[in-house]
Structure 1
């Protein structure tokens, strides 16, 4: 006999007690699609750099929902009308905004599926859940896709100052121990308001916005784009690429049925149907980690070596430069490693020697600006109003280039 739903609370290390507001949200959290997020890491392989970074997408989704509850409370206090349907839409949209992430988060967007973003997969999950919940997520889907007629509702879920960013900066800062990323999310929320149906920040909150943007810049360079984390993620992508190659050669590999399905089947957006979604819902970090441990014993030298690098944290050396890596430097490294490791050709060598680039842009002035509401009622972009000299600089994209290769070739 099934038990009736009870409104429960979660004890969160960041915000304390998080209350589940109603049975719809309770049922969404209890659904296997959402429970899967307990097994999806929030920060991929960043724990190889920051040992505490083992928190999950489940943590983050609940934290984002908590901040959304606070935002709704603040805006209603300021006489912004938000109906019960709109409230449920906001809570549903922010709760499910990351439900489409694959194992180890962003790495899978380049490996398991081809050219399909996690946002697209999140939408497929939400559409499926909407059928199961008799259309209860219709408003949530319109907000998630940015199509709701009330612009500020869309902005609370996806903008440059949304509940997603406010939570992950604070949460990732906490779990990594990188204090520079810590922002006062609740203080920022108390400064929110709505003018002409668009989200604004009251003038007294400008310094909180500046700190938020600086924290975002620091977290990208120190955490999300940390060079060791970059090389670990690239190795994971290379492992799955090589596993595909080995399977294409007719060699069997031990792995879960869900992982084998995606390695053997080329899935693009046209082929991502309900059957594919059901298999994707079975995929999590456990599938990848158990496969990597197993593949260390593979007879394929490339696959075996790459897996040992991840398991034993014996990663490739990485150098980060301001200018692109020259073709001559790449050729010399490739020749040296091909000879040292006894590899057959440059195709095999490319798994161990490769280049790439990383980009950081803390504030995009051309896309959904953060607008400040001045005391005289005028609305001004934060970068124009700020007396912080670095804020205009944060609007520029900073690009760095890297080259990875085995330590033997240093």
Structure 2
């Protein structure tokens, strides 16, 4: 019987060739849970703004693993001891850190699955995989949860300068064409070191970190918090909410079996058990898009119009403001819609709404990014930098939006 070659190579447009370090990683990548990420968009509905943003969570996870390989090599070269088991655990933890994302990423966390974050679902997947792989993921799970005794390893998975951010900023910049987000992730990784069990950046890398934080701010305003992307995601949340509402009222909506399961069952943190996990593992972007293609012709005014808006990219009008939206503005648009189409206020709420978005590139009170100077001193990036803007970047900026129909309705 021929032996299968498990040390494959992926050709990535960002980094070139990405190698699979061992057979366990290969088997995890081949698992259907992970292959599902090929069908989960990395940036949700951002392709409605940036047509090139069709890359997936699969791309991103492999990129993160590649950067983690580089980080392990750099730290070992600088004398940081990392055992073979710890190395593999780091690769597994970063590879699977996003495995719990649902269709169109964050939209599902607020609709079909009630307030169950993708981090929690990722942990469920990792624990299930750990059973299948006879406990080989135990150490990776401890690192992912932040419980491992060597804190710097946990910081490589989740912190303000982790391998996740190092990949997604560069990758999302590439696929959207927004050059302002193009960071030098490899330079940052080359400057990594460990002091008192915490990740630090050597003094020579300070400008790369400054660029990283500025790029993060710009990518949030230009891409992740783009007003058209915001209204598209809000419409998708409302599509799923309305579909759920209709099902509860006795309507039999056409949908795939996994999607029907979540429409028919109110799943929250306490009820997200083995059956829910199995159904979730079969749910991806295609389920939601194919359902919307059918639902755009449904008799329900709300569901059909919401789906039509998303399928044909004829979205609500959205305005960003520096101050909270005044209630009278919302009522004006709601009343006009109710009068024109003889619909209830509850139905009008699906088309007229407001909210807020917040951008904070750096949180000074959370796992600081520390710079190590040649004299051995360690300082927070804001204090170490001569770039005055960094202090401003550590303050949250809040903007408010209002969405209402154009003349199409």
Please state which band the TM-score falls in when normalised by the shorter chain: over 0.9
User: Take 1:355 and 1:334, find their aligned partners in 2: how far apart are those partners?
Assistant: 12
**CA-CA distance at 1:221 after TM superposition:** 0.2
Q: Distance in 2 between matches of 1:277 and 1:307?
A: 27
Q: How far did residue 276 of structure 1 move?
A: 0.8
Which secondary structure state, in structure 2, belongs to the residue aligned with residue 193 of structure 1? strand
Asked if residue 337 in structure 1 is aligned to residue 314 in structure 2, the reply is no
Tell me the equivalent position of 2:266. Answer: 266
CA distance in structure 2 between the partners assigned to 1:79 and 1:28 by the alignment: 30
Partner of 2:69: 69
2:340 and 2:355 mapped to 1: Cα distance? 23
CA contact (8 A) 1:5 1:26 kept: no
Match of 1:375 in 2: 374
State the match for 1:103 in structure 2.
103
Q: Which residue of 2 aligns with 1:304?
A: 304
| Pairing 1:80–2:76 present | no
What does residue range 185-204 of structure 1 map to in structure 2 within 5 Å? 185-204=185-204
1:25 matches 2:25:
yes
How big is each residue's C-alpha offset from its partner over 1:358-379, in whole Å with a ceiling of 9 and x where there is no partner? 0000000000000000111000
- Give the match for residue 47 of structure 1: 47
Measure the CA separation in 2 of the matches of 1:23 and 1:307: 43
- What's 2:406 paired with? 407
In 2, the alpha carbon distance for the partners of 1:115 and 1:251 equals 24
Query: Matched residues in 1 for 2:2 and 2:179: separation?
Result: 45
- Please give the alpha-carbon distance, in whole angstroms, between the structure 1 residues aligned to 2:3 and 2:342: 62
Match in the other structure for 1:365: 364
Offset of residue 395 of structure 1: 0.4
Secondary structure at the counterpart of residue 390 of structure 2: coil
Compute the TM-score of the two structures, normalised by the length of structure 2: 0.99
Tell me which residue corresponds to 2:275: 275
- Answer yes or no: is 1:127 the counterpart of 2:148: no
- Residues 116, 268 of structure 1: 8 Å contact kept: yes
1:131 aligns to what SS in structure 2?
Answer: helix
CA displacement at 1:3 relative to structure 2: 5.3
Residue aligned with 2:37, SS: helix
CA distance in 2, matches of 1:287, 1:84: 40
Question: For residues 108-165 of structure 1, what are the alpha-carbon distances to aligned partners after superposition, in whole Å with 9 as ceiling and x for unaligned?
Answer: 0001111100000000000000111111111100010000100100000000000000
Task: Describe the superposition over 1:284-314 as per-residue Cα deviations: whole angstroms up to 9, x where unpaired.
Answer: 0000000000001101011000000001100
Instruction: Kindly state the Cα deviation for residue 385 of structure 1 after the two structures are TM-superposed.
Output: 1.1
Q: Which residue is 1:216 aligned to?
A: 216
- Give the equivalent residue in structure 2 for 1:396: 395
- Which string of whole-angstrom CA distances, capped at 9 and with x for unpartnered residues, describes residues 19-69 of structure 1? 000000000000000000000000000000000000000000000000000
Distance 1:145 1:198 in 2: 16
Kindly indicate whether the alpha-carbon contact (under 8 Å) linking 1:333 and 1:409 is maintained by their aligned counterparts in 2. no
Structure 1 residue ranges, 4+ long, deviating more than 4 angstroms after superposition:
none
Please name the residue that 1:170 is paired with: 170
Which position in structure 1 is the counterpart of 2:286? 286
State whether structure 2 residue 317 is matched by structure 1 residue 317.
Answer: yes
8 Å CA contact 1:108–1:237 kept in 2: the answer is yes
- State TM-score, norm by structure 1: 0.98
CA distance in structure 1 between the aligned counterparts of 2:373 and 2:341, rounded to whole angstroms: 64
Structure 2: how far apart are the matches of 1:272 and 1:135? 22
Uncovered stretches (5+) of structure 1, i.e. residues with no partner = none
Spell out, residue by residue over 1:192-216, the C-alpha distance to the aligned partner (whole angstroms, 9 max, x if none): 0001111000011000000000000
Q: Quick one: distance in 2 between partners of 1:206 and 1:131?
A: 43
Q: Deviations over 1:291-343 (max 9, x none)?
A: 00000110101100000000110000000001000111111111112112331
User: Structure 2: where are the runs of 5+ without partners?
Assistant: none
Tell me the distance in 1 between the aligned counterparts of 2:319 and 2:345.
Answer: 21
Distance 1:360 1:3 in 2: 51
Distance 2:57 2:115 in 1: 22
Residue 6 of structure 1 deviates from its aligned partner by 2.2
Pairwise CA distance, 1:2? 8.2
- Aligned to 1:200, the other structure's residue is in SS state strand
- CA spacing shift, 1:3–1:247, aligned 2, 3 Å: farther
| C-alpha distance in 2 between matches for 1:270 and 1:83 | 37
| Separation in structure 2 between the aligned mates of residue 216 and residue 18 of structure 1, nearest angstrom | 25
Deviations 1:345-369 (A, max 9, x none): 1100000000010000000000000
CA contact (8 A) 1:336 1:409 kept: no
Is structure 2 residue 385 aligned with structure 1 residue 386?
A: yes
